[in-house]
C-alpha cells in the first residue's frame, strides 16, 4: 500500500512490491495473480462472510433486514481497518482500471446477495432489488466512513445509512 501511495499504482511494479516485502517476484505470484489482487484479494472472504450472515438472518427477517445483517458482517470485518481502508480507497479512486475492478466486485457481491435471498424464497425481482439496494448502502456508507473521522465506527455509519434509506421510503 505504501508503494502505491508513494509512487502511484501504475508506477509500482510487482518486483517493487516483492522487494519491499522481502520476497521474490516468484513468491509474490504464489499469493497474488497480479498487483491488483493486493487491493482486491480479500473480496472473496468479504463476500462469503456477508452471504453467510444473510443466510443466518432469522427466517422472519424481511429481505432488506437480511441484507442489513450482511452489512453488519462487512462492518465487523472491515471496521477496525480505517487507515488501511482509507489508503486503499485513495489508490482505487486515482486509477480508472481499479475503479472498474471495484465496480465488478460490487456487482459480484450484489449477485451473491441476490442468490442468497432467492434461496430464502424471495422472488427474483425482489431479491435483485434488495441486493442492489444493500450494495448501494454499503458503498455510500463505506465512502462516508473512510472520508470521515477515524474514530467513527463503520457499523454505526452503515446503520445510519440504512435508516436514512428507510426514512426516504417512509410515508409521512
- Per residue of the chain (172 residues), give pLDDT as tens: 889 999 999 999 999 999 999 999 899 999 888 899 889 888 999 999 999 999 999 999 999 999 999 999 999 999 888 999 999 999 999 999 999 999 999 999 999 999 999 999 999 999 999 999 999 999 999 999 999 888 889 999 999 999 999 899 877 6
Give this prediction's pTM: 0.89
- The residue among 65, 91, 72 whose CA lies nearest residue 10 is 91
Residue with cell 460490487: 106
Top-tier CATH class for 42-169: mainly alpha
As a whole number of angstroms, the distance between CA 120 and CA 37 comes to 32
- Helix (H) / strand (E) containing 60: none
Q: What percent of the chain has pLDDT over 70?
A: 99
Give the CA diameter of the chain: 62
Q: Where does residue 108 rank: exposed (0-12), middle (13-18), buried (19+ CB within 10 A)?
A: middle
CB 97 within 8 A of CB 76: no
Q: Compute the C-alpha angle 106/93/10, nearest 5°.
A: 110
As a whole number of angstroms, the distance between CA 95 and CA 106 comes to 17
77 Cβ contact list (under 8 Å, min separation 6): 45, 46, 49
Q: What pLDDT, on a 0 to 100 scale, did the predictor assign at position 172? A: 61
pLDDT in tens, 7-41: 999 999 999 999 999 999 899 999 888 899 889 88
Q: Where are the domains of the chain?
A: 1-34, 42-169
For 1-34, the fitting CATH number among 3.40.50.80, 1.10.10.10, 1.10.10.60, 1.10.10.410 is 1.10.10.60
Q: Where are the beta strands (DSSP E) in 80-130?
A: none
Amino acid at each position: 500500500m505504501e508503494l502505491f501511495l508513494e509512487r502511484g499504482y501504475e508506477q509500482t511494479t510487482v518486483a517493487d512490491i516483492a522487494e519491499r516485502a522481502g520476497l521474490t517476484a516468484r513468491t509474490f505470484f504464489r499469493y497474488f495473480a497480479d498487483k491488483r489482487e493486493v487491493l482486491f484479494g480479500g473480496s472473496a472472504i468479504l463476500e462469503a462472510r456477508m452471504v453467510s450472515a444473510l443466510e443466518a438472518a432469522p427466517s422472519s427477517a424481511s429481505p432488506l433486514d437480511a441484507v442489513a445483517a450482511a452489512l453488519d458482517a462487512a462492518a465487523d470485518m472491515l471496521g477496525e481497518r480505517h487507515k488501511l481502508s482509507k489508503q486503499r480507497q485513495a489508490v482505487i479512486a486515482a486509477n480508472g482500471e481499479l475503479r472498474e475492478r471495484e465496480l465488478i466486485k460490487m456487482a459480484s457481491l450484489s449477485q451473491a446477495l441476490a442468490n442468497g435471498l432467492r434461496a430464502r424464497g424471495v422472488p427474483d425481482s425482489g431479491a435483485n432489488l434488495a441486493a442492489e439496494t444493500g450494495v448501494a448502502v454499503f458503498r455510500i456508507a463505506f465512502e462516508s466512513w473512510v472520508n470521515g473521522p477515524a474514530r467513527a465506527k463503520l457499523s454505526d455509519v452503515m446503520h445510519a445509512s440504512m435508516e436514512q434509506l428507510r426514512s426516504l421510503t417512509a410515508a409521512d
